[in-house]
Chain A
């Protein structure tokens, strides 16, 4: 099970709290998913915040606030400071967005913000790309968790660059790695776990499914399967067939 900044979490599934058809469905989806961490945001208090906060508290899971929607270092750092006080946690899912269409991280701003926040005592979960040098810089900046995207947020495209994600896993065998964003199907989540990722963070794939509660369960099972497969040391793929049934003892029938 994943360990983030010294805290062991009982599930490799991290689940977002946005876009569910109702608060009741959100709560049921969480129960079915067994997720150990819920991501949340800070937004202008329009009268719903207090009830939502109570709902999240009742889920009984660790809370990971995000800086979603922030496009500058300053905005992200200020949001993180507000989140730390509000949620009473040093954890922050750091997002510094660089592009409106792809919601691709601004990796330069991300590294700068990560350094400012870790120097200030935060434990940063950076939403990043799978670029090895960017990830190395994030580790230099004090991050102990990396969260590369699978595909653009909400796209459901799965793992766009399996080679890059596998390569990142191999380069940083001791760093907690989470595939964050782009998951659409349980098979995508299972693939990330089979690669040796420590956890998967997803939201839209569950919340916008026709039956979010069933999809939450499907994701949980897929992640469990992927995790078990990884620890079972899968075979290498090969180009040529290799008969599984023994040839020895086969009758001559011609």
Chain B
């Protein structure tokens, strides 16, 4: 299916958010996720299924003022 991942259109297998993180090699990384503009807690990634057109944001710690 096609989703928007961090602003870029991507073809992914999924079907869950946890699967996508594994696909992009971030399964072990410390990240925060949002699905379609809403916070998605880490505990819900494994049972949250994506659908075509979804928008997933995968964020991490960066420089900030």
Interface residues of A (CB under 8 A from B): 16-20, 39-46, 48-50, 52-53, 56, 65-66, 68, 74, 78, 81-83, 85-87, 153-154, 181, 203-204
Contacts of B59 in A (CB 8 A): 42-45, 49, 82, 86
Contacts of A87 in B (CB 8 A): 61
Verify B64–A86 contact, CB threshold 8 A: no
Verify B64–A52 contact, CB threshold 8 A: no
Instruction: Give min CB distance, A202 to chain B, whole Å.
Output: 8
- Interface SS of A by simple majority: mixed
Contacts of B30 in A (CB 8 A): 49-50, 53, 86
Tell me whether A52 and B61 are in contact in the complex, defined as CB-CB below 8 angstroms, given that A44-B6, A82-B32, A86-B32 are known contacts. Answer: yes
Query: What are some 8 contacts across the A-B interface (CB < 8 A)?
Result: A16-B64, A17-B64, A18-B64, A40-B61, A44-B58, A49-B62, A53-B60, A86-B60
Count of residues in B whose CB is under 8 Å from the partner chain: 23
Verify A56–B37 contact, CB threshold 8 A: no
Q: A-facing mask of B16-52, CB < 8 A → 1, else 0?
A: 0000000000100111111001110110000000000
Q: In whole angstroms, how far apart are the Cα atoms of A81 and B58 in the complex?
A: 13
Verify A49–B65 contact, CB threshold 8 A: no
Instruction: Give min CB distance, B62 to chain A, whole Å.
Output: 4
Contacts of B58 in A (CB 8 A): 44-45
Closest B-chain residue to A66, C-beta based? B64
Verify B41–A49 contact, CB threshold 8 A: no
Counting chain B CB atoms within 10 Å of each CB, the highest count among A16, A39, A49, A53 belongs to: A49
Contacts of B64 in A (CB 8 A): 16-18, 39-41, 65-66, 68
Tell me whether A42 and B60 are in contact in the complex, defined as CB-CB below 8 angstroms, given that A49-B31, A78-B38, A85-B32 are known contacts. Answer: yes
Verify A39–B65 contact, CB threshold 8 A: yes
Instruction: Give min CB distance, A183 to chain B, whole Å.
Output: 11
Verify A19–B29 contact, CB threshold 8 A: no
Contacts of A85 in B (CB 8 A): 32, 39, 41-42
Q: In whole angstroms, how far apart are the Cα atoms of A21 and B38 in the complex?
A: 34
Instruction: Give min CB distance, A124 to chain B, whole Å.
Output: 16
Instruction: Give min CB distance, A85 to chain B, whole Å.
Output: 6
Extra contacts, 12 of them, besides A17-B65, A39-B64, A82-B59 (Cβ < 8 A), are A16-B63, A16-B65, A17-B63, A41-B61, A42-B61, A45-B58, A49-B59, A49-B61, A52-B62, A68-B64, A68-B65, A86-B59
Q: In whole angstroms, how far apart are the Cα atoms of A39 and B62 in the complex?
A: 10
Contacts of A66 in B (CB 8 A): 64-65
